[in-house]
Amino acid sequence: MVNDTISDMLTRIRNANLAYKTSVSLSKTKVHEKICQILEQEGFIEKFYISETDTNELIVDLKYQKTASFGSGGLGKPCITNLKRISKPGLRIYTNSREIPKVLGGLGILILSTSKGLMTDRQARHSRLGGEILCSVW
């Protein structure tokens, strides 16, 4: 049984990226759907949808850059370089809107859980909202 479903989700996406898979299946929760929606809006994944065979399964189509590289099967370089879980069940990390850190000088994103729902670090700064830093993506 998985205690931290967000860590499990990030690990599945990271492993599928490293193995140059075209898609990965995840358990369907509202948090997973919102994180996938943010990743799709920011251009890190191609798309996501609910499985036709199992309604409790979420399918994520991974995105690759069109440059040819050895070992990738012609897919190119993954758009997601790394995913990192920051706030964990044993150690929650919170921040206010003025102290939200930037990832790689603004090239990556942070996903925060705020009182207005999940959002990126840029959206949280613009809305002047703080919250729990769930993960970083670059």
Side-chain-side CA neighbours of 123 within 13 Å: the count stands at 16
Q: Of 60, 40, 62, 29, nearest to 111 (Cα)?
A: 40
**With the CA atoms of 89, 90, 96 and 100 taken in that order, what torsion angle do they form, in degrees rounded to the nearest 10?**
-80
Parse the chain into domains and list their residue ranges.
1-80, 86-137
d(CA 7, CA 4): 6
| CATH topology match: 1-80 vs 86-137 | no
Question: Which residue has tokens 């931290």?
Answer: 4
Taken in order 130, 131, 133, 136, the sign of the CA dihedral is: negative
Instruction: With CA atoms as reference, report the closest residue to 62 among 19, 104, 29.
Output: 19
* 88, 4 contact by CB (below 8 A): yes
Q: Which of the 8 DSSP states describes residue 103?
A: S
Residue 70 is predicted with a pLDDT of 60
User: Tell me: domain 1-80, CATH 3.30.70.360, correct?
Assistant: no
Q: What is residue 71's predicted lDDT score, i.e. its pLDDT?
A: 60
Cα-only R_g, the chain:
15
Say what the pLDDT of residue 104 is. Answer: 94
For residue 91, the 8-state DSSP code is B
pLDDT, tens digit only, all 138 positions of the chain: 789 999 999 999 999 999 999 999 999 999 999 999 999 999 999 999 999 999 999 999 999 998 755 666 677 899 999 999 999 999 999 999 999 999 999 999 999 999 999 999 999 999 999 999 999 999
Q: Which CATH architecture has domain 86-137?
A: 2-Layer Sandwich (3.30)
Angle between helices 30-41 and 5-18 (to 10 degrees): 40
